[in-house]
Structure 1
Amino acid sequence: MAARKTSRAENEQKAPTPKGKAAAKKTPPAAKKAKANPPTPPKKTGASPWRTVKPEPEKAPEPGRALMVIPQPEPPPPKTPWQEFKAGLPDSLSDFLGFIVRGGHMAAWCGERGIPYTTMLTFISSDPRRSEMYLRAREDRADVLADEIVAISDEDTLEVKELAPGVKVAVFDKTAVARNRLRVEARKWVAAKLRPRVYGDKLEVESTVNHKAVPDDELLARLAALGVVLPSVMPQQGGEGGNA
């Protein structure tokens, strides 16, 4: 019989495996491809990575048990302009006196701040020290008015008029002159009332005369010491009795 030819695969199977070496397992091509490109797991649509916690329902109060309510303090009412002035003392009083010294007056100061004029006047008059400070501030205001009179007098009251094309003349502005004269006279009158000894037109002279009654005898003695001799003054008395 003819000998059967063995294939290469059969020879490899029959060949003995060398000692100390593990037999190599061959991986089929399809398995290699599947191992190189593992299948992608399907994505979950609409899934959120954050955990959603549902709020717990509010528990109803137990029957017969009242809830305690803690009262909250009410905000304080806004302060009035007069209360703010009183709270800012003594700085607010210094601001008021400075306003008077700079040429202002109490009515304007009260109107700007919404404070009643009579309330401020009563506050000043109720304390002798405050009254003295207010009077001193008014007197100092007279010096400010005097400085303003000088500044008004130095104002330029010229007006440039064009008489002809290219011909310009500087003339006095009659309206400005009349207005400045009125401003000066008003300040002079106020300054004379606030500080009459300095800015008043009349010189006030004060004198004190002490009169003391002297008896007749003492008066005659003084005259005699001066060389004047006068008969003594005796009261005349009517005669006793009389014609019936």
Structure 2
Amino acid sequence: MPYQATVYRWLTQSESFRDQYARAREVQADTLADEVLDIADDATQDMQVDEQGHERVRHEAVQRSKLRVDARKWLAGQLAPKKYGDRIQQNISGAHDGPIEQKITIVDEVQVKATVAHLEENY
């Protein structure tokens, strides 16, 4: 396994290595997404039978599976944000979904000084 510094040097110096690296990261994200489904579908450790023969939920195993799923979802979202990342969409519009209105007010300097003086006197 090469040192991390070596990999970074290859990334800066070789276009073909950059392309291979990018493809490998895409495959890694897809693999993580597949693992999410496998972990979520696997319920073999979720239940246990106690001494009286009653089935009980193993909350620790369920929480561990949730943690494993969440970690893989997060990492897949970091590696391939367009494919696995959270979609954040912002729409900016004016009143009643209309266009944004721009208002320009020209202020007279004398009027500003008078207003400031008035505020200072009264407060």
Using the size of structure 1 for normalisation, the TM-score is 0.34
Query: In structure 1, how many angstroms separate the alpha carbons of the residues matched to 2:3 and 2:27?
Result: 24
SS at match of 2:87: coil
Q: Number of residues paired by the alignment? A: 88
What is the deviation of 1:184? 0.5
Q: Pick from 13, 16, 24 the counterpart of residue 126 of structure 1.
A: 13
Match of 2:80 in 1: 195
Match of 1:150 in 2: 37
Stretches of structure 2 that go unaligned for 5 or more consecutive residues are 91-123
SS at match of 2:50: strand
Query: In structure 2, how many angstroms separate the alpha carbons of the residues matched to 1:122 and 1:147?
Result: 31
Larger Rg: 1
Amino acid across the alignment from 2:73: K
Query: In structure 2, how many angstroms separate the alpha carbons of the residues matched to 1:201 and 1:150?
Result: 18
Query: In structure 2, how many angstroms separate the alpha carbons of the residues matched to 1:151 and 1:142?
Result: 14
What is the deviation of 1:124? 3.2
Which of the two has greater helix per residue?
Answer: 2
Match of 1:161 in 2: 50
Q: Pick from 178, 185, 194 the counterpart of residue 63 of structure 2.
A: 178
Deviations 1:67-111 (A, max 9, x none): xxxxxxxxxxxxxxxxxxxxxxxxxxxxxxxxxxxxxxxxxxx3x
Match of 1:137 in 2: 24
Query: In structure 2, how many angstroms separate the alpha carbons of the residues matched to 1:162 and 1:149?
Result: 33
Stretches of structure 1 that go unaligned for 5 or more consecutive residues are 1-109, 206-244
Query: In structure 2, how many angstroms separate the alpha carbons of the residues matched to 1:182 and 1:149?
Result: 10
Where does 1:39-188 land on structure 2 (aligned, <5 Å)? Answer: 110=1, 115-156=2-43, 157-163=46-52, 168-188=53-73
SS at match of 2:73: helix
SS at match of 2:51: strand
Match of 1:218 in 2: none
SS at match of 1:125: helix
Looking at both structures, which has the greater relative contact order when contacts are Cα pairs under 8 Å and sequence separation is at least 6?
Answer: 2
What is the deviation of 1:189? 0.4
